[in-house]
Structure 1
Amino acid sequence: MGLFSFIKDAGAKVFGIGKTTAEEAADAVAIAKEKATKLSNAIETLGLKVKDLNVEVNGDNASVWGQADSQATREKVILVLGNTEGIATVDDKMTVEVPEPEAQFHTVVKGDYLSKIAKKYYGDAMKYPVIFEANKPMLTDPDKIYPGQVLRIPALD
């Protein structure tokens, strides 16, 4: 899929990753490895199935390798990484077991809510559950989205 850009300071302060202190910055390599481990653990904890998952963090860039079980899983892994505070780009080097069409991505802006986004992409505000389901398990509540967050917008069947 390639390189994806995110707003690094808009991400969720999750997985114990965020801005580092001056003291932590002294050991950037160890911090990067720790962030990569936490991100890998988060992906596994969310139940996203990726064989031979490998995540590396270099500054505000995350790179990811492995074989996802589906295109949806691949896209969710990218979103887990990119929607984390401190990550500005995700270099996707994953493969997919069964290739499928790619979903669109939408960056949330102030005033957005899922039904408004559904109206924009599907022409029907009541299709918001499609977007909510497409972004589980990262989203746990359809009303809890934030500006700068990137969401998957799958095609309707």
Structure 2
Amino acid sequence: MGLFSFSKDSGDKAIDTSAENKVNASTLMNTIQSYGFDVKDLDVEIDGDTAKIYGTAADQATREKVMLTVGNTKGIAKVEDKMVTAAPAPEAKMHTVASGESLSKIAKKYYGDAMKYNVIFEANNPPLSNPDKIYPGQVLRIPEL
């Protein structure tokens, strides 16, 4: 997939950082594994505010969710995706949440129907656990219908 940029200061604060206020690679790996993502040979390396992710994801959706889990972490500005997929598929669109947006507004923009917000919610769950709790700067997967 390549190199992706994220908002370093608006990421998920729920993922614990080290005493130096830097993201810890093992903490990110534990978070990814706690979500139950099917990734073989998972490895995460941190270099400053850039994370590199390695492994074989079961499918494209899993690959994208892992990348977003890491990128939407406070302290991460870039994610270099070095994963491969066991079952290649087209990539989903990515959307960076703007101030005042909701999943309904985003669904209306991409699908023409605000009631399809649940498609976006399910495509980002986990780590998104509540459709009403998105924040500006967060990057979301927008799958094809």
Q: TM-score, normalised to structure 1's length? A: 0.89
Q: 1:66 aligns with which of 51, 55, 73?
A: 55
For each residue in 1:63-108, what CA deviation from the matched residue of structure 2 results, as whole angstroms up to 9, or x when unmatched?
0000000100000000000000000000000000000110000000
Which residue does 2:122 correspond to in 1?
Answer: 133
> How many positions carry a matched residue from both structures?
145
Larger radius of gyration: 1
The residue that corresponds to 1:11 in the other structure is 11
Residue 115 of structure 1 pairs with residue 65 of structure 2 = no
Q: Distance in 2 between matches of 1:55 and 1:14?
A: 18
Task: Look up the equivalent residue of 1:9 and give its one-letter code.
Answer: D
2: CA distance between counterparts of 1:13 and 1:41? 15
Matched residue type, 1:3: L
**Take 2:84 and 2:129, find their aligned partners in 1: how far apart are those partners?**
27
In structure 1, C-alpha distance between the alignment counterparts of 2:128 and 2:66, rounded to whole Å: 13
Q: Structure 2 length as normaliser, TM-score?
A: 0.96
CA displacement at 1:14 relative to structure 2: 2.1
Determine the C-alpha separation between the residues in 2 that align with 1:7 and 1:37.
Answer: 21
The answer to whether structure 1 residue 146 and structure 2 residue 131 are counterparts is no
CA distance in 1, matches of 2:60, 2:134: 22
Distance (Å, rounded) in 1 between the aligned partners of 2:15 and 2:132: 21
Counterparts of 2:142 and 2:107 in 1: how far apart (Å)? 8
Residue identity opposite 1:40 in structure 2: M
Tell me the C-alpha RMSD between the 2 structures. Answer: 1.3
Q: Helix, strand or coil: the match of 1:3?
A: strand
Given the alignment, which residue of 41, 44, 48 partners 1:52? Answer: 41
Q: Secondary structure at the match of 1:10?
A: coil
Aligned-residue identity in percent = 62
Q: Secondary structure at the match of 2:75?
A: coil
1:139, CA displacement in angstroms? 1.0
User: Which residue of structure 2 lines up, in the alignment, with residue 28 of structure 1?
Assistant: none
- Residue type of the alignment partner of 2:77: A
Higher helix proportion (structure 1 or 2): 1
Q: 5+ unaligned residues in a row in structure 1: which ranges?
A: 26-30
Give the counterpart of 1:103 among 92, 98, 109.
Answer: 92
